Amino acid sequence: MSNGKQQTDVLSLMEDLPCGFDLLSAAGQENVIVIVTTGRRGLLNLIQNKCENFPVYLWNNGAILNPLIYELVGKSGGGVVDAPFNMGPFPRYVLARALTLKGAKRVVFLDDDWDFPVGTITLLFSKCVGRSMIGHWAFRFRSDRYSNRVRVADGEHAHYVGPGGCCVNSDLLRVDELFACPEPYRFAADDVYLSWVAFRHGFDLRGMATQLFRPLEDDTSRPPMWPRAMPLKHSLLSRLVKLEPQWII
């Protein structure tokens, strides 16, 4: 499932966007945090109180952010990419790949609509050993329907690990196939595609910190994406299972 033009387009996303950092400063940062945001109100608390002392890199999908966020991100050793409009979640992988090419070994991906205790980030980094992908939103599928699944516990093997609260070995960001995700799946089913690529390239997917994350259910800024996303997730999962039946066995 490869498309050279799509891959080139995705990898060039950062070239013409204003970046609040110089990628040269990322050299030597082995553990980094990447967050994609539309400016939800939980973002400031997340960066200010939960990211510990790790560099934070933020992909801002067109939101007007509190100036304090830029200050905190800069002090962490990270930076902000300000996109002119909502490009969806997929650019997080573009940013993470750029950091990988500067030396990152592990990447924690976070969404700004979840909360978790201080120390969770350190836990994820410490448990991401070898070619692995671990996270709290982890499932085993019982069929090729996205909703037909069972959540796994810490340390259990998974078919799927959602990127909102996971840690990946950065070798996964070096896989070109990851950036060939077809449209329109990039906007609403990138999570399914990520886990499929990880399986195809020999990564170990497991649950971790499964009891530590909680959704910010009172966040009224959260868009009603779920009903629109589900058909795409079902469609892509069915399509990918046909290509790799061993994935969900």
Residue 39 has pLDDT above 50, yes or no: yes
Residue 2 has pLDDT above 90, yes or no: no
pLDDT single digits (tens) 100-144 = 999 999 999 999 989 999 999 999 999 999 999 999 999 999 999
- What does the block give as tokens for 60? 């801002």
Contact criterion met (CB below 8 Å) for 107 and 167: yes
Which residue is associated with the tokens 């909703």?
Answer: 147
Average of pLDDT values for 66-88?
94
Please, which residues have CB within 8 angstroms of residue 135's CB and are 6 or more apart in sequence?
124, 161, 162, 163, 164, 165, 166, 167, 207, 208, 209
pLDDT single digits (tens) 151-178 = 999 999 999 999 999 999 999 999 999 9
For residue 79, how far is the Cα from the chain centroid?
17
45: domain CATH number? 3.90.550.10
What does the pLDDT read at residue 184? 85
99 lies in which domain range? 4-248
Contact criterion met (CB below 8 Å) for 221 and 177: no
Q: How many helices (H) and strands (E) does the chain have?
A: 8, 12
Residue 62 has pLDDT above 90, yes or no: yes
Report which secondary-structure segment, H or E, holds 67: helix 67-76
- What does the block give as tokens for 227? 């009903």
Question: DSSP class of residue 231?
Answer: H
pLDDT single digits (tens) 193-209 = 999 999 999 999 999 99
CA distance readout (Å), 163 to 23, 77, 108, 111, 238: 23, 22, 8, 8, 20
Of the candidates 86, 83, 89, 101, the one whose C-alpha atom is nearest the C-alpha of residue 176 is 101
Our count of domains for the chain comes to 1
